Structure 1
Amino acid sequence: MAAETDVHEIPTRREMIQGGSTILGGGLLAGCTSDGGDPTPADAADTATNSPTDTPTSYEVAIEPAGRHTFEEVPETYASIPGAWMDIAMGFGIQPKAVAAFDRLPLKYYDALPGVDFDADAVRTLGESAESKYDKEVFYDVDADVHLMDSRMLKKYSGWDDEDLEEIESNVGPILGSLIRFPFGGRDPYYTLYEAFEKAAQIFQRQAQYEAWVTLKESFYADIESRVPVSGGDEPTVAAFNFGFDPESGKFFAANIDAPRNDTRSFRMLGVNNAFQGEEYVPFKPVGIEKLLDVDPDYIGMIGYLSYIDDSQLQKVVETAQDHDVLSQLRAVENGNFVRTGGQYMGPIIDLFSTEALAKQLYPDEYGEWPGSIHDVPEEEQLFDRQRVADIINGNV
């Protein structure tokens, strides 16, 4: 187990805001892309066959911060806690055996794909909430082949120590996830979304599906980026926030969208200006109303709220802000310019929906009007092929 970074500076969501269907079955590329960038070399020790019928009798996968694990056979089941790894595995059509809890779990994205369902009745929960103090006996009872979760986050939520982790790894299954949501304990994420996705392809030996995903997302990204209607400094400025934007609480947690973090990738894809550019970066930075008035953004971005609230709830937030004595002075509030994206759970599936939704919210004249729900986008105005995504998920590559 790798040395642990300081986890105490990363608060849980509860700490930050306190006070205020088909049942899914359960390509290692030479390089992987980072947010549509240049390929990065694959770890030679992780290289496995691209043929699903020629799986090696044993193979090794390395994922920081856990290190290397040798698989004697391909795992069939996994458990996950909050993060992108469930959506990553769902990209291969592999439903979890257990999740932390169902609170905030964004299942609606799978419902929006033809022939792709999530059988919640077949999924165990590890605790009462996403940030539960997990009981080791539940992990024994679930008996997952692999745990797609960052060991640092598992220790933070559960209160376990290294010996507890080693016990679960020895007696149940390896712990091989890695937090990609934001820099953790002063360390940038080890992986981008598609680097983590490639690691999962190695774990589950789904290289052909991974290669199909890379082809699809690169085509999607290229189309989106080629159509962005503004450039050269005319891009709108967005002030992005974690945990939404609650005018009544007076608590606002800013997100530096240019920082190396997965949950703000939709904003980077659309090339917006960052209202908090140059600010000292912390994952959840409290900012006051005076700072908001100072940056006076064109848009207020609500990270994760594409997953957690509907359009009617969003309108209530907008109306409350417009009735606020001070917040009503902001241009974004006056114009009702609030946008929502995916966030904490954003793997490759949610990434597509999030980017499409943000493109429509920012530039409806170019990408089509945003109807308020991922389910209501007319087929002729969809920016990616839902059927093709479903085919890849179901193994028809």
Structure 2
Amino acid sequence: MQNKDILDCCQRRREILKAGCSIVGGGIVAGCLGTTDDSSSDDTTPTSPSGEESMTEADDPTPYEVTVKPAGTHTFDSVPETYASFPGAWMDIAMALGIKPSAMMSLEEEQLKYYKALPDVAVDLGSVETLLDSNDSEFDKEVFYEVDADVHLMDPRILKRYSGWNDDDLEEIEHNVGPILGSMIRFPYERDPYYTLYEAVEKAAKIFQRQERYDAWVDLKDEVFAEIQSRLPDDKPTVGAFIIDFDIEGKSLRAAEIDAFRNDTRTFRKLGVNSAFKGDTYVRYKEIGYEKLLDVDPEYIALIDNLTTENNESFQQTLQAAKNHETLSELTAVQNENFVRSAGTNMGPIIDLFSVEAVAMQLYPDEFGEWPGSVGDVPTEHQLFDRQRVADIINGRV
């Protein structure tokens, strides 16, 4: 299909949306493409990840504005029902509000383990479009036209960086397809911290008009963290956190400042640990050599995002490699096997709870129980949050 035909189809679809008609196939009008912590507003429709439809409380909403820095402000004439995103926090945020992705830059089965550990919640990879064929492929604007997402939950700076597009390209997609509204919250980007996790959730709740679910999430996370924090010992360990990977052979490791304004170290801040690497809170990470690491010698070494991207077997291989390493084997954390895995890159409200549960068990097994190695294998008696309650919020039963 040519770009003009796709554009005409997209415009017709949006006219249908404004008229209040339904969407076929969770996102595309049949026949078009040959495929089927403040916010105010009521909970609205799209189909939840479990396949259930929530109650519609605003069938004909008044146009409303949402501002997401640094993307800008967009006026919605109707509530968006589909979105495209990078694999990251914004997908988990939307999932927490009951909206599964229509398209992602890429999506791996391993990233879905958290949803599989919940009752009545699922993401079928077969129904999710991919915007890139592979990590080596180029960004094709025509794919964005074909996907025809109502909104793109992406930081425009990140999209420009990876696509090579300019501002005119972004404006074209926004004008002809849908707004680009997102913000990098994993760590500071270009020295511009914008939102905490729940500030971003609040923005998404405004975009999708799902205030009730946002309020329910706030209540739940406040209760869960208050309970966990009430059980923590007074003497907190010192943790050296590393992002991306723990490159044992590279002789230079990427350390993260836990206390910085960033989402990927949120788990450790909530657990009150002491950061081994105090420094500039606006730095994404800093290179730490073996000598510096031995000098600091933290009680624990944390592998951020390992909980999401790796399984327990590969994690154990990393630990064993460190134990066999001539230099790293001298570290206290290695000798005591004090390596911990947390989530990070993809951490929205759902993954946030799984991450803090996993790390609490790894740091304090006497208090919270032995960590079994997988989020899906935590015994019911040791679970630190109610899986059914999470599923109920996702599915609109609030």
With normalisation by structure 2, the TM-score equals 0.85
2:339 paired with 1:338: yes
Instruction: Name the structure 2 match of 1:19.
Output: none
How much has 1:67 moved relative to structure 2? Answer: 1.3
Distance in 2, matches of 1:103 and 1:335, equals 33
2:85 paired with 1:71: no
Larger Rg: 2
Instruction: Name the structure 1 match of 2:215.
Output: 211
2:372 paired with 1:368: no
C-alpha RMSD of the superposition: 1.7
SS of corresponding position for 1:317 = helix
SS of corresponding position for 2:144 = helix
2:149 paired with 1:144: yes
* Native 8 Å contact 1:61 1:68 kept in 2: yes
Distance in 1, matches of 2:69 and 2:272, equals 30
Distance in 2, matches of 1:255 and 1:133, equals 30
Instruction: Name the structure 2 match of 1:170.
Output: 175
Distance in 2, matches of 1:132 and 1:359, equals 39
Letter in 2 for 1:61: V
2:193 paired with 1:201: no
2:81 paired with 1:80: no
* Native 8 Å contact 1:104 1:308 kept in 2: no
2:104 paired with 1:99: yes
Distance change >3 Å, CA 278–CA 101, structure 1 → 2: closer
Letter in 1 for 2:223: S
SS of corresponding position for 2:245 = strand
How is 1:1-397 mapped onto 2 (pairs within 5 angstroms)? Answer: 32=37, 42=38, 47-50=39-42, 52=44, 53-54=57-58, 56-103=61-108, 106-129=111-134, 133-188=138-193, 190-229=194-233, 231=234, 234-278=235-279, 281-397=282-398
* Native 8 Å contact 2:188 2:282 kept in 1: no
* Native 8 Å contact 1:133 1:159 kept in 2: no
Distance in 2, matches of 1:132 and 1:258, equals 36
Letter in 1 for 2:191: G
List per-residue Cα deviations over 1:134-173 (Å, max 9, x = no partner): 1111101100000000000000010000000000000000
Distance change >3 Å, CA 131–CA 287, structure 1 → 2: farther
How much has 1:212 moved relative to structure 2? Answer: 0.7
With normalisation by structure 1, the TM-score equals 0.85
SS of corresponding position for 1:246 = coil
Q: Higher mean Cα deviation, 99-108 or 304-313?
A: 99-108
Distance in 2, matches of 1:315 and 1:131, equals 30
Unaligned runs of 5+ in 1: 1-23, 27-31, 33-41
SS of corresponding position for 2:111 = coil
* Native 8 Å contact 2:61 2:79 kept in 1: no
Give the paired residue count.
Answer: 352
* Native 8 Å contact 2:239 2:302 kept in 1: yes
How much has 1:287 moved relative to structure 2? Answer: 1.0
Distance in 1, matches of 2:360 and 2:136, equals 32
Letter in 2 for 1:87: D
List per-residue Cα deviations over 1:279-328 (Å, max 9, x = no partner): 67520211100010011000000000001111121111111111111111
Distance in 2, matches of 1:71 and 1:183, equals 28
